[in-house]
């Protein structure tokens, strides 16, 4: 790039080495500075290039807090004055390497207790970004890296947008956390790319585990105007902008969707939200209202409505809970509580798996793909060997067909997996995972056989979902090398692994288990060897309470609807069907045997399993949530609605009271180090909604923890609004 000259930098505070603001902004805010330089254009004009930079290395995402936003506004006002004086042909905004901006600095708003301050933040964003549309000259966003939330809204406020081809993180994740795109996103985006694409970006992708949009996808939907090579992205962007300014490049603009189409898309989106959330999560509904009005609303009216929504949601418990859950699953998940030093982990040069069924086959493909080591599997006969190989091949071919792996990578994975009936095939494995039928004597026999062929340093891991890991290793010569590695189905998609430590497990074996989980791209949580560990213990307590209500006369449809206020990903009977009724009953029996009448058996479910009946109907292809089949009522004894039976609120109360009791007992037993690990397990292993923050914040917020166990599970203000009495 030629002809550059610094015209000055406006700052409202200095940034320390830790990224904290001195003299400006909220305590702990990382001030993102707006640095300006002039770029000479081929026609002799000048483009003012504003670069967002938080002064930290490229591993620290650029975020925009109140002080950073105020500085950006002052810089843009200065460029507006220059543009009106005829000094500028254009203004462009870009970021430091790898980031345009990763959204707002939510730490700066998470502790607010005064709605007036929340309103100021909302209005400041609009006052700043709208300058890019009122500059008096064309404005450009050069999206050189991740642009999330407020970062993407900054780009949307510009007249034109370029993006580097390697950018893979463009998103408006606000509804995922409990907010709305409140700095213009709900108004500008549907008018730019159409209402259907806007719903996809604002609702569908965030609610699908915060799915990102790539540069190529963004270009296809009209979110950006051109995709440029990352090697010389900034130079190419300036050259492209010069061609636009010279009239050599014309960027077509999409006409507004017809009103009837707009209304139909919004109605369809509302129906989808109702089927999935049943009104339990406020942010997506507020966002949809804003999108619905965007076609006909004046900009000032639309922005004021965004301010209203953002103010309400910033002050909500849902936002605090969402930020708490996000922090758990991102920052805190990187350093698992209670994990031994990673230096103690043994090298893993090959992995053995006993069994080649569904879970074992999924695990084999994941290990071969991520660890890139030989996977040695053992089955009991040639028919099962053939079936196992066929299952592995089907998985790999599906990955290749979907474009997730190349043909060469598919061949490498298939070449890495070997299945045999010979136990000695596993002799050189550094870690062996047993994934056979959930029968304790069988698992004990497998471990005993393995001990005779494996090296003394090899780690023995079990994928059991509920059986005692201690009992599996009790009769071994070296029980200290036995651990649990509890994966969830489907193995490739579910992010959680429960690492189970027995009283005999040594640090080296546990550290190796954590290292394997990390190398597989999973979040590992250390748990003690107690019945059901964390996820299954709590899910089965929930399902046991629901089943007990039905056994007591509550109609199955009433019991199924009772948990909808929680916004869970599926109802209790759909969950039973997904897990498999025989599997769910097996775990329930195991927990009943170990933990007693808190996990009552269900004769009705046993009858359904014996008859091979489904508890929800076969999918009809509509994508609608699977509700319980009312026909299964006949499997439960006694008249429906008899005296003492529970209504919907009664079932929900029984479930929440039961969960509060169980979590209190689990913490007393030391199943995990603290309530945060329970929340991490439930969010990642059971899909517990982000807007609840996990189970513990919800039980605290609704009073159930204090009512049942006499104490809060988390300190006040951890995942809810601090005491507002502190205002003023």
Are 680 and 695 spatial neighbours (Cβ–Cβ below 8 Å)?
A: no
Q: Are strands 459-462 and 90-95 parallel, antiparallel or unpaired?
A: unpaired
β-sheet bridge partners, residue 48: 38, 91
CA distance 669 to 382: 44
449 is catalytic: no
Both tokens assigned to 60 = 């620290």
CA distance 138 to 244: 9
CA distance 616 to 289: 33
Both tokens assigned to 386 = 């053939």
What is the total residue count of the chain? Answer: 728
Give the active site residue among 71, 87, 134, 174.
174
Are 216 and 227 spatial neighbours (Cβ–Cβ below 8 Å)?
A: yes
Query: Residue 150: CB partners within 8 Å, gap ≥ 6?
Result: 64, 101, 103, 104, 125, 183
- Cα 265 from chain centre: 26
Both tokens assigned to 559 = 């019991």
β-sheet bridge partners, residue 377: 353, 419
174 is catalytic: yes
Long-range CB contact pairs, 218-222, < 8 A, 24+ = 218/163, 218/170, 219/163, 221/193, 221/197, 222/192, 222/193, 222/194, 222/197, 222/254
Instruction: Compute the half-sphere exposure of residue 389: CA atoms within 13 Å on the CB side of its CA.
Output: 13
496-501 β-sheet, strand order: 417-420, 375-378, 351-354, 431-434, 459-462, 482-487, 496-501, 523-528
DSSP code of residue 257: P
Report H helices in 64-114: 66-84, 107-110
Give the active site residue among 71, 153, 551, 662.
153
Instruction: Compute the half-sphere exposure of residue 599: CA atoms within 13 Å on the CB side of its CA.
Output: 22
Calculate ∠ Cα 491-492-497, nearest 5°. 50
Q: Which residues are catalytic?
A: 153, 174
């Amino acid at each position: 790039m030629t002809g550059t000259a610094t015209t000055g930098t406006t700052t409202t505070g200095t940034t320390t080495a830790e990224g904290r603001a001195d003299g400006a902004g909220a305590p702990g805010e990382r001030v993102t500075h707006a640095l300006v330089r002039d770029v000479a254009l081929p026609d002799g004009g000048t483009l003012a290039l504003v670069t967002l930079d938080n002064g930290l290395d490229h591993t620290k995402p650029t975020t925009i807090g109140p002080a950073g936003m105020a500085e950006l506004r002052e810089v843009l006002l200065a460029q507006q004055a220059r543009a009106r004086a005829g000094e500028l042909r254009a203004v462009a905004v870009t970021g430091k390497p790898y980031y345009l901006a990763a959204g707002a600095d939510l730490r700066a708003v998470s502790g607010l207790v005064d709605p007036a301050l929340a309103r100021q933040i909302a209005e400041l964003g609009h006052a700043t970004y709208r300058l890019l549309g009122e500059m008096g000259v064309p404005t450009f966003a050069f999206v050189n890296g991740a642009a999330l939330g407020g970062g993407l809204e900054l780009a949307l406020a510009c007249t034109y947008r370029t993006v580097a081809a390697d950018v893979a993180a463009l998103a408006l994740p606000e509804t995922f956390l409990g907010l709305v795109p409140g700095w213009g996103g709900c108004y500008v985006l549907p008018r730019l790319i159409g209402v259907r694409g806007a719903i996809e970006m604002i609702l569908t992708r965030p609610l699908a585990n915060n799915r990102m949009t790539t540069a190529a996808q963004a270009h296809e939907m009209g979110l950006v105007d051109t995709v440029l090579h990352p090697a010389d992205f900034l130079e190419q962007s300036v050259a492209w902008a010069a061609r636009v300014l010279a009239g050599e490049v014309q960027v077509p603009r999409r006409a507004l969707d017809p009103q009837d189409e707009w209304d139909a898309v919004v109605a369809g989106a509302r129906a989808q939200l109702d089927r999935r959330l049943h009104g339990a999560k406020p942010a997506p509904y507020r966002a949809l209202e804003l999108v619905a009005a965007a076609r006909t609303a004046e900009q000032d009216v639309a922005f004021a409505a965004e301010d209203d929504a953002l103010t309400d949601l910033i002050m909500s418990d849902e936002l605090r809970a969402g930020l708490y859950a996000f922090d758990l699953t991102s920052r805190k998940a990187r350093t698992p509580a209670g994990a031994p030093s990673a230096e103690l982990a043994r090298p893993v040069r090959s992995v053995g798996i006993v069994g080649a069924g569904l879970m074992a086959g999924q695990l084999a493909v994941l290990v071969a793909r991520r660890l890139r080591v030989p996977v040695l599997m053992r089955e009991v006969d040639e028919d099962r060997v053939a079936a196992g190989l066929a299952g592995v091949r089907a998985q790999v071919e599906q990955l290749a067909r979907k474009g997730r792996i190349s043909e060469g990578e598919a061949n490498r994975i298939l070449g890495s997996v070997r299945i045999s009936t010979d136990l000695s095939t596993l002799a050189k494995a550094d870690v062996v995972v047993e994934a056979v039928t959930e029968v304790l004597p069988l698992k004990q026999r497998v471990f005993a056989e393995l001990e005779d062929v494996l090296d003394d340093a090899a780690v023995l891991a079990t994928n059991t979902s509920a059986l005692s890991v201690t009992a599996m290793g009790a009769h071994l010569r070296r029980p200290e090398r036995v651990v649990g590695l509890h994966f969830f189905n489907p193995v490739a998609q579910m992010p959680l692994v429960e690492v189970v430590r027995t009283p005999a497990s040594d640090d080296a074996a546990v550290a190796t288990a954590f290292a394997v989980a990390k190398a597989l791209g999973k979040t590992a949580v250390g748990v003690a060897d107690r019945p059901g560990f964390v996820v299954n213990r709590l899910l089965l307590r929930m399902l046991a309470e629901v089943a007990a209500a039905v056994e007591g006369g509550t109609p199955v449809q009433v019991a199924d609807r009772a948990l909808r206020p929680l916004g869970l990903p599926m109802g209790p009977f759909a969950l039973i069907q997904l897990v498999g009724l025989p599997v769910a009953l097996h775990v329930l029996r195991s927990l009943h045997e170990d933990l007693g009448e808190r996990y009552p058996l269900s004769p009705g479910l046993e009858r359904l399993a014996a008859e091979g009946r489904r508890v929800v109907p076969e999918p009809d292809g509509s994508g609608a949530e699977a509700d319980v089949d009312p026909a299964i009522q006949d499997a439960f004894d006694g008249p429906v609605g008899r005296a003492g039976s529970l209504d919907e609120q009664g079932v929900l109360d029984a479930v929440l009271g039961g969960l509060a009791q169980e979590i209190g007992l689990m913490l007393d037993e030391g199943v995990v180090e603290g309530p945060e690990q329970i929340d991490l397990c439930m969010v990642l292993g059971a899909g517990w909604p982000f807007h609840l923050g996990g189970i513990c914040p919800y039980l605290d917020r609704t009073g159930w923890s204090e009512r049942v166990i006499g104490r809060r599970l988390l300190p006040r203000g951890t995942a809810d609004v601090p005491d507002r009495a502190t205002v003023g």
